[in-house]
Amino acid sequence: MWLFSKHETKINNSTGDFFTKNKYCLRVIKLMDTFDAIKERRAVKHYDVNHKLTDEEVNQLLSLAVLSPTSFNIQNWRFVVVKDSEVRKQIRAAAWDQAQVTDASLLLVICADLKSWKDNPAQYWINAPKEAQKFLVPAMGPFYEGKEQLQRDEAMRSCGIAAQTIMLAAKAMGYDSNPMIGFDSDKVAEIIKLPENHIISMLIAVGKQTQPAMPRGGQLSLDKVVFTDKFS
């Protein structure tokens, strides 16, 4: 797939080639194949401090993130885009001084709303067929009500899937990323003014690497992690 910037005029001729009318704004990016993005995504620690993601790129990443699946379509993730360099410094101080927090072009705090399931549940099925709405909307409350652990599990499930979506999309756009849980969650919650009934899942740094990741730490073989039918 080929991506053109907004300012370019693209003409698709019968052979499928693309051109721009103005040669000075030719910028064609070949997006990466999904398998390659999965293989090439690594946790990268060193970033170019001078590189900035454009607002369009950030918007693209987040627009892809919100296509991630959630149970009952509750869309419980919340994404804090940390733009203020002072806030970045405060988070870095609460995150074992990890340089990625301030150096990467983009820092996201991936959070979740533990109660999104009861915030007007009909909104999550507004476009579904009436029969599906009738079944799904009233099922959500009883499924989650009073089950605090389930609500938390759900938050972490949704955020984990969204995080991987962001990291793979970033890789496909030519960027690297680093998921992080090395931080004091209470301190970061205070810094970002995390609302009640919300939790933080992880931080993600995204940017241009200046040094590649270390060689993979050591992969378990499939026979250690894959079981057929039962564990024993």
Binding site for ligand FMN (CB under 6 A): 42-43, 45, 98, 178-182, 202, 213, 216-217
Closest CB to ligand FMN among 62 and 213?
213
Rounded Cα–Cα distance for residues 52 and 105 (Å): 5
CB of 207: closest distance to ligand FMN in angstroms? 14
111, 207 contact by CB (below 8 A): no
What does the DSSP 8-state code read for residue 53? Answer: -
| Residue of minimal Cβ distance to ligand FMN | 182
CB of 220 to ligand FMN, least distance (A): 12
Cβ neighbour number for residue 215 with a 10 Å cutoff:
7
Nearest partner of 106 among 57, 72, 149, 154, judged by Cα = 57
Minimum CB distance to ligand FMN smaller for 141 or for 212? 212
Number of DSSP helices (H) and strands (E) in the chain, helices first: 8, 10
| Residue number, 121 or 207, with CB nearest to ligand FMN | 207
Provide, rounded to whole angstroms, the least separation between the CB of residue 88 and ligand FMN: 15
Residue among 43 and 136 whose Cβ is closer to ligand FMN: 43
Report how far residue 40's alpha carbon sits from residue 2's, in angstroms, rounded to the nearest whole number.
Answer: 19
Q: How far is the CB of 29 from ligand FMN (least distance, A)?
A: 23
